[in-house]
Structure 1
Amino acid sequence: MSHPAKFRISILWKNSVVSKLRIHISAPPSTSLNQLILGKDVVPVYVWSTSQEDISTPALKQLDTQDFADHLNQRLESKPLVLAFTEENLSVEDFNDVQFPKLQSLGKSSEFIPAVQSPMKALKKVASNQSSLEDIPTRGSALVVIKLDDARPDEDRGQLLKRHDSRINEIYKEALKVRNDVLAVYTSHYKSWMEPEVHRVRRLLQEQNKDSPLTINVGPILLYASSVPTFKINNDDIPLEFVVATYDKSKDNVLSLNMNFKNASSKHNFKVVFNNVAGYWSLDNASYVESKQELKPDKSIVAPVGFSYHCTAGISLKNDDIELTFENFQVQAFMNNGTKFSDAYNCEMFFTAPIWSGLFVMAILAIIMIWGLVMIMDIRTMDQFDDPKGKTITINAAE
């Protein structure tokens, strides 16, 4: 007898847009995350409406086309105008307040479904009466498909989604001038992120500027740096912008942290490997995924399990050509779902250079003081000409 997987989703909204998506999955050991939500045509769907409807959102699972069609039928009972905004590709990672500042402010009710199989097939199935923006019917159900396929060669994906956010806002408001009952759907045909690895947790983070602290907390790994790391290839500085972090746990004693960065022209992904041996965890090696080059830390990063590792001076992962440097670095692996660092092992030895300097100065002062005390104790009374058997010389005050 097979046991169905159980799911729970928590969506945190910030400034009216998805800021963080937390997924809790309880499934049999034979069920992998890839089997559930990583199909190539499984895409997120965002739905909003002019009506205040109380329709339960499906629990997190891969909704097939028929399930999504049945869910849409509940919203189509009042025969609204359906606007379908379709991207060529879209993923959960694309939904944040940087790309879509206007989207969530539209409509009186909304819902976000992170994994739907072929949602456009379901839309065309339940709303067969298709129309166009120039010929919107004043009543009755109708489907208007707006294709957002106008990518420009001089813009990155963030700029593309921001521009589409503005266009969706304009078209939706124009439709409201014709109809007061509008149901809008924003989705795509394919995923923009394809990640085949298993045992993976993904967490969305806000876009960070260069000087903001870098904090990564995924699964049993917590990492902090005072700023986004500096990256050099052949001594040329390459600016980085943090995108997302994931982790893999293919073995009980091995953890892999995958850090994805980008800049204006390219992506830069790094993989850091932690090992757990004899009660101590260590960061022994890393790799630059794009060129498959191995990187080594410039300091020994080792701490007992249950402790963190801290280095104020920073650490570098490097080889002869590549260097990735973290300032004010602290990391802890193999945690028990904690969000705070435990007591830290520091990279600086107990007797640091300032401590040695202080001890040296104190030693010199102590030697001087001891020498002075010995000199004072060696002072003698000058009595070598006194005759102990002779008459004592007496001097009266009157004389």
Structure 2
Amino acid sequence: MAGSRCSSKMRQTAFTAVFFALFATGSSTAQVPLLIWSSDSLPSLASPAAGHITSNDQLTAYLTTALGSGPHTMLLFLQDKLSKDDFTVFGGAFGNKQDSAFQNLEAALQSSSSSVTLPALEWSGSSAILALLQEKLGASPLLVDADTLSHLSINTSVSNLLLINLPYCTGLHKSCKEVLRDNDEIIGKVLSVMKAKNVPYTAIYTGLQPSRVIAETSVSDQSVGRSLLQAVEPGSRIPIMFNVSGSPCIMLWAQNLNVSLSTSSPWIDLAGEMPSLDGSMCNGSNSLLVLTYSSGYTLRFAMSQRFYPVSARNWFTLDSVQLQSNGQTASFIGRRGIYAPAEYSFHCQSVNSFQDALLVPNNNQNTTQWRLNFIDFQIQGFGLANGTNFSYASDCAGFFTPGIWMGLLTSLLMLLIFVYGLQMIMQLNTMDRFDDPKGPTISVPQSE
């Protein structure tokens, strides 16, 4: 009876426990949630404490107990990406079950004989969970979907590992909620097929990798001031970092590093390649970042810093950028705007050599048709505090942008109109005599 009451309680609170645990869990360690449910019984597992991250060893020990005896049919719903935020944002965490993107998953957890929820499983690689199940079951994974599964004959006398891959939102065609709802429908169809075949199963729903990695930083470690552009957003391209004796020296990040060898040739984005940093160097006054790509292009960023008595501080400048290809070199000089205090990083939404150019081509070169266009560009050559974050960013956008100037001029024009109208009203004089309808009329003598 005690085991039955415990199992019933787990069925009633399984998905609710996911949300409460997900809200309370947070760490700098990459993690994915993992949900297990079965048409048979599962070994009991104490609910993890708030903030607890289940290690791979703990999961291995649990699966060893759960899959230790007899053949098993395992359904692995493996989504491209999955994190706790997907449940809290798109699930029914606030009581609105009809709007939840996980209705079939909730129903499966509540109707299963037993279920286990791991809100935060330590993530060690995209193939870790698949390799672990393959080892425990002694079976190779079989990639299926709802249609192929309905025509598949399942031999329950041996262990089976059925893999169902689920996509994640890319932002191109569907919203994340729509994609997750479609995935939930696939889960519902697969479970319906298994129920129709009357095959006992154990199911796992997890992700190949986290969709979001939220790092918690101690308040004492945070720098005072603006944190905008201080760290790269999770899921985006990692910054390029050059180290000297294990200490960070130069850091660069860009959404796109577009180069073109002529005005008619297409743009080539080098940011998607991992370059070699051979030839890079840095010291107290000069830094050189050399990015050599396997596609045959080389970018050189030369920076220097010096003390300016007027501002009584050190400033660093991006002196030049060189592009090499096929034995030819084009040099671009940073003549204006590419500078920042030495302890800051420099950021600009667009750094190019052809429109509002911050990089001016060197006319002495034969390759004057070569073009550069760096999008969301950020670089720091001095004063790096650690190997993960840029320092405070000095942005290339001036304070008085064209929009601000238009607003100021329009406000000034409206103020002048108001002052002129007020002055006109104040100059109006009233008549010293008025016409009384009960008395004699006022006669105005006519003069010839």
Quick check: TM above 0.5? no
Instruction: Specify the TM-score bucket, using the shorter chain as the normaliser.
Output: 0.3 to 0.5
TM-score (norm 1): 0.41
- When you count strand as a share of all residues, which structure comes out higher? 1
TM-score (norm 2): 0.37
